[in-house]
Amino acid sequence: MGSTQDSAVTTLDTDEEDNPRFTVEELLDEFDLTLDPAPSFPKIIGAILDERALLSNPHFNWLVDQGLLARNSKPSNGWHKMICPLVHEHTDGDESGTGIRIAADGTIAFHCFHSHGDRFRTKEYLESVGQQNGPTASLTATFTWDEPDLLLLEPERGPLPEPPLEVLPPKWRGWVKTTSEGAGAPAAFVLQGLLAVTAAVCGAGIEIQIGTSWQEPGVLWLMMVAAPSAGKSPALMASRRLIRKINDKLKGQNLIQEVKYAHDLHQFEEATVAHKKAVKEKKTPVPLPPKPQKPPHLQLVVGNTTIEALAAALSANPRGLIAIHDELSSLLLNLNRYGGGNDRPLYIEAWAAAPWTINRKNLDKPIEIPRAAVTMLGGMQPEKLREFFDDQADDGLAARFLYAWPDPPTQLPLWERRSADDEWASTAIERIWQSAGTPEKPLVLVIDPRAFDPIYRRLVYLARREEGFIAGFVGKGRGTIARLAALLTLLEWSVSADPTPSTTVSTSALAGATRLWEEFFLPHARAVFRVGGRSPQELRLRKAALYLRDNRLTTVRRQTIRVDAFGRTLDARDADGILRELEHRGIVRPVHRAATGPGRPPAEWEVNPRILD
């Protein structure tokens, strides 16, 4: 024991009658354990408890009595290194030693590094060393597989939930349903469009405050995942209709400003001519008025554009913009291909409405945008997902999207379809647009930090349990839920009689946002990441596992994987690697047969019958 372990006073207490209190020192002495270097206290306790149970297990003791196992006395992570005297590869007790512990069914489970494979239990071990009889009949009769990784066999998308429309105010819920049925578009896509438009009309004009030092903008990125003709375009058309009144107003303002600019420019040109004439005639010229500046072009929607043009549009529309794309792949797959890869971090900053500074050789001076708020809405075909994820750096761009991959909608007969009240809906969205402030003086919406704290802590816990793309998505969930809650609060207000929106995010909106993210967006993101974020090795494992299942194979050899499953596109080493990994996933396990002639018998693997059910 290391000197840092206070073993003289630390005790273990348990409710099990056959596990009395022992000091760590007493347990170490009783079982003559050597733990050097000393692991942490919890690992010591786990190892000792496992050792005590192991020494009292009849299967283990019988194996030791038969000379089939010898204890190596270095327990680690619940596995105990053993030497197998009758198997040549396992005579050194080093890496080729055998890990051993008690399985759930009471038999001994092994963890080997060479000819025994990775996991098998008492019956197979006895067969491999030529011993067919154990202390009880159940020793050889009871033998179960490790749990197979059935995710390898699931349909790539899998079943996914419908959106909980109950989180919307009743009138907005009705609009989503009617629009979905009338347009033949999934309700999930219509909901995404509504959320995107609500975010876009706010942008940097609202500030969501959680406590004193955490602020979020009104920005969302939403991706509709579906094959062609699955309802993306009708849903996008519905979202455009929501902002029709705003676009009409902006067009009217642009027309007024352009007419005024043309008039002022004409007057300036006439004054310039008169000024030059007076100078030429040596008369006192009338002072020239300042040259009129071309007015900014007001807009809310942008399409596929360069980063410089987007910056110019943001400069003219400081509250923010929405980029709507039928196919987001045309934008996202080119972020690393043009502009030297510099466009990608700018888009990531736009999700946070962060400042932009753009330097280009063709610009006289840098473009400065104090708050670059860009909401995104668009579609992506499933076959493009892998290309999208292959193009991903570890920068969190994919984690910022809210994904929906719904089932195709039920198509109502044409005579049963009704038109949604788009006039009312666009008026309500315009009301939100008019209530938002400016980047300098935004509408502030406050979330009670005491109400948000349990949500925050839960998501921190979830993020620590995840890895890869989904870990980033969960990490962004805290800010996303806050944004969704603020937008739901504004949607509640848009159908109320109150003249001004509340500055406090409602409890119902916070609960609804949490439910929407956790019950809908999270499982859909998992499906998208599972399909698009699979590594080439993961795809090969899936292909091999599906081949075993679809062909109802009970045993398989390397040649079957290499030739039949993969058409000779793999070499022998790759095929072996796939079988070893399938063993780790509980799909196959090695079959140990005695040699009937010179040389080793061909390596053969048994297929878990669970995957054939």
Give the model confidence (pLDDT) of 429-463 as tens digits: 999 999 999 999 999 999 999 999 999 999 998 88
15-19, 76-80, 152-156, 276-280: which has the highest mean pLDDT?
Answer: 276-280
Mean pLDDT on 31-55: 43
What b/e readout covers 390-409, taking b as 16+ CB neighbours within 10 angstroms?
Answer: ebbeeebbbbbbbbbbbeeb
Mean pLDDT on 99-117: 48
Q: What CA–CA distance (Å, rounded) separates 22 from 37?
A: 21
Mean pLDDT on 127-155: 56
Q: What is the per-residue pLDDT across 500-558, written as a single tens digit (0 to 9) for each?
A: 999 999 999 999 999 999 999 999 998 998 888 776 777 889 889 999 999 999 999 99
CATH of domain 536-612: 1.10.10.10
Q: Residue with structure tokens 């995710």?
A: 151
Extended beta strands in 384-508, E state:
401-404, 443-447
Residue 513 in tokens: 């946002």
pLDDT band of residue 286 (cuts 50, 70, 90) is confident
Q: What is the per-residue pLDDT across 321-369, written as a single tens digit (0 to 9) for each?
A: 999 999 998 888 887 666 556 788 999 999 999 999 888 777 778 889 9
pLDDT at 90 over 50: no
Q: What CA–CA distance (Å, rounded) separates 292 from 261?
A: 7
Lowest mean pLDDT among 58-62, 166-170, 186-190, 251-255: 58-62
pLDDT at 81 over 90: no
Domain 167-243+300-532: top CATH class: alpha beta
pLDDT at 43 over 80: no
For the chain, domain boundaries = 11-150, 167-243+300-532, 536-612
Are 76 and 108 contacting, i.e. CB atoms less than 8 angstroms apart?
no
pLDDT at 111 over 60: no
Q: What is the per-residue pLDDT across 209-246, written as a single tens digit (0 to 9) for each?
A: 998 889 999 999 999 999 888 889 999 999 999 999 99
pLDDT band of residue 39 (cuts 50, 70, 90) is very low
The pLDDT of residue 521: 97
Eight-class DSSP state of 504: B
30-39, 44-53, 160-169, 601-610: which has the highest mean pLDDT?
Answer: 160-169
Residue 124 CA from chain centroid, whole number: 40
Residue 575 — φ and ψ, nearest 5°? -65, -40
Best CA proximity match to 105, nearest among 122, 118, 126, 124: 122
For residue 19, give every residue at least 6 positions away whose Cβ sits within 8 Å of its Cβ, in sequence order, or none. Answer: 12, 49, 52
Lowest mean pLDDT among 18-22, 161-165, 183-187: 18-22
Amino acid sitting at position 398: A
Amino acid sitting at position 414: L
Mean pLDDT on 86-115: 44
Lowest mean pLDDT among 48-57, 403-412, 436-445: 48-57
pLDDT band of residue 55 (cuts 50, 70, 90) is low
Q: What is the per-residue pLDDT across 254-267, written as a single tens digit (0 to 9) for each?
A: 999 999 999 999 99
Enter the pTM of the model. Answer: 0.68
Q: What CA–CA distance (Å, rounded) separates 457 from 608?
A: 39
56-70, 108-122, 579-593: which has the highest mean pLDDT?
Answer: 579-593
Q: What is the per-residue pLDDT across 569-608, written as a single tens digit (0 to 9) for each?
A: 989 889 989 998 898 888 998 886 555 555 555 578 899 9
pLDDT band of residue 10 (cuts 50, 70, 90) is very low
Q: Quick check: helix, strand or coil at residue 557?
A: strand
Lowest mean pLDDT among 75-89, 168-182, 266-280, 525-539: 75-89
pLDDT at 25 over 70: no
pLDDT at 31 over 60: no
The pLDDT of residue 340: 59
Are 404 and 192 contacting, i.e. CB atoms less than 8 angstroms apart?
yes
User: In the predicted model, what is the mean pLDDT of the chain?
Assistant: 79
Are 180 and 419 contacting, i.e. CB atoms less than 8 angstroms apart?
no
Are 311 and 257 contacting, i.e. CB atoms less than 8 angstroms apart?
no
The pLDDT of residue 504: 96
Lowest mean pLDDT among 37-46, 170-179, 382-391, 472-481: 37-46
